[in-house]
Amino acid sequence: MKIMTAVTTFAALVMLAGSPVAQAYGTDDHGADHGPDIVETAVGAGVFETLVAAVQAAGLVETLQGEGPFTVFAPTDEAFAALPEGTVESLLQPENREQLVAVLTYHVVPGKVMAADVVNLTSAETVNGASVTIAVEDGAVKIDGATVIQADVEASNGVIHVIDQVILP
């Protein structure tokens, strides 16, 4: 029964890829092998301004514009705003760059992991070396407790799954 729920959930998320919501996040029905990379896709979406600023402050822009492929669990601006007051500002300080890199690389998994591929996973190792947990709860896909609100936003060098919380290593 749990597997069937997971399959149904991922099927619904994959169907969203052609929706207006997905179009707002910069994907199309034809994939994006020829299109913008992960950073350009995030910038174009207009809901990842804090994430993009953090990636710039951490010096990770070139990495995420590299060949990849990468899977990015991307928190929205609202997710960053929900952190305790001062957290983002503190992380963006040059003296906290190492901590910022650790947090950001915890949101990245090497390889291109599409929603349909996640059905049988319970965890995935992130670029920072720690693993995130993957679960289906009440029909929603969760990454370390954060809910995937948009799956399979394709970029030329990977895929973005939009999440509603910042996950911490």
**pLDDT tens, residue by residue, 6-65:** 333 333 333 334 333 344 444 444 344 468 999 999 999 999 999 999 999 999 999 999
**pLDDT tens, residue by residue, 58-74:** 999 999 999 999 999 99
Number of domains composing the chain = 1
pLDDT of residue 122: 94
**pLDDT tens, residue by residue, 105-135:** 999 999 999 988 876 789 999 999 999 999 9
Distance CA 1, CA 21 (A): 29
pLDDT of residue 8: 32
What is the domain range of residue 44? 2-163
What one-character-per-residue DSSP string does 71-130 give?
Answer: EEEEE-HHHHHTSPTTHHHHHTSGGGHHHHHHHHHTTEEES---HHHHTT-SEEE-TTS-
- Domain presence at residue 104: yes
Instruction: Indicate if the pLDDT at residue 98 is higher than 80.
Output: yes
- Domain presence at residue 40: yes
Closest CA to 25 of 164, 161, 131: 161
- Domain presence at residue 169: no
Residue 124: give its domain's CATH number: 2.30.180.10
- Domain presence at residue 19: yes
